């Protein structure tokens, strides 16, 4: 008998508390509807990242069904997207980073690297269709051999290291990549 009395009392108390909570929820829903009606004049609610984070954190605690039933101003997908982006941003370590981005490199290295890439593309890669990474590696290794040992460089006053001493002998053509890259040298006498 005592157990039934306590159970009835707890049930009645839970019903009263639950009924009061539903009244609060109903009021908050109506408040949001009024806000939405006001917002329709401006067509858009502008929030800062802190406000988005607060809303997204509260929305994440709800089930998808409950979120679909209660979200009025923003779609559940929008709220969950904010959660993914803003919460992930909170833990990405960017706030502790003193110098974000790539480390600075000197202009000299930038100028040489850009010139080399341009030369490779114009003199070699722009004329070939490559079917694999291995083929690309082979082509680049052949280009580097040509570039470092056979190609005439303006930086070296158009002088390349002679393969053979003297001006004797016939001129021979060295071809790389099927004749795409050519250099001419005197054959040793």
What pLDDT shows up at residue 93?
63
- For the stretch 114-162, pLDDT in tens is 888 888 888 888 888 888 999 999 999 998 888 887 776 655 555 555 5
Report the distance separating Cα 144 and Cα 125, nearest Å: 13
pTM, entire model = 0.39
What pLDDT shows up at residue 153?
63
Please provide residue 71's backbone torsions phi and psi, each rounded to the nearest 5 degrees: -70, 120
Query: 3-state DSSP helix/strand/coil percent for the chain, to nearest 5?
Result: 60, 5, 35
* Residue 130 · residue 148 · CB < 8 Å: no
Report the distance separating Cα 33 and Cα 77, nearest Å: 19
* Residue 79 · residue 71 · CB < 8 Å: yes
For the cut 80, the answer to whether the pLDDT of residue 180 exceeds it is: yes
- For the stretch 59-73, pLDDT in tens is 888 888 888 877 777
């Amino acid at each position: 008998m005592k157990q039934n009395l306590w159970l009835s009392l707890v049930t009645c108390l839970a019903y009263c508390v639950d009924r009061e909570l539903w009244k609060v929820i109903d009021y908050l829903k109506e408040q949001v509807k009024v806000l939405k009606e006001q917002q329709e004049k401006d067509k858009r609610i502008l929030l800062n990242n802190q406000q988005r984070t607060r809303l997204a954190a509260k929305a994440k605690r709800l089930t998808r069904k409950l979120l679909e039933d209660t979200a009025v101003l923003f779609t559940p997908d929008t709220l969950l997207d904010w959660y993914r982006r803003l919460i992930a941003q909170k833990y990405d370590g960017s706030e502790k980073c003193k110098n974000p981005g790539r480390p600075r490199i000197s202009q000299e290295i930038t100028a040489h690297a850009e010139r080399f890439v341009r030369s490779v593309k114009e003199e070699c890669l722009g004329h070939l269709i490559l079917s694999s990474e291995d083929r690309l590696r082979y082509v680049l290794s052949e280009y580097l051999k040509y570039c470092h040992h056979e190609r005439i460089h303006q930086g070296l006053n158009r002088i390349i290291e002679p393969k053979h001493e003297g001006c004797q002998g016939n001129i021979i053509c060295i071809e790389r990549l099927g004749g795409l890259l050519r250099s001419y040298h005197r054959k040793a006498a």
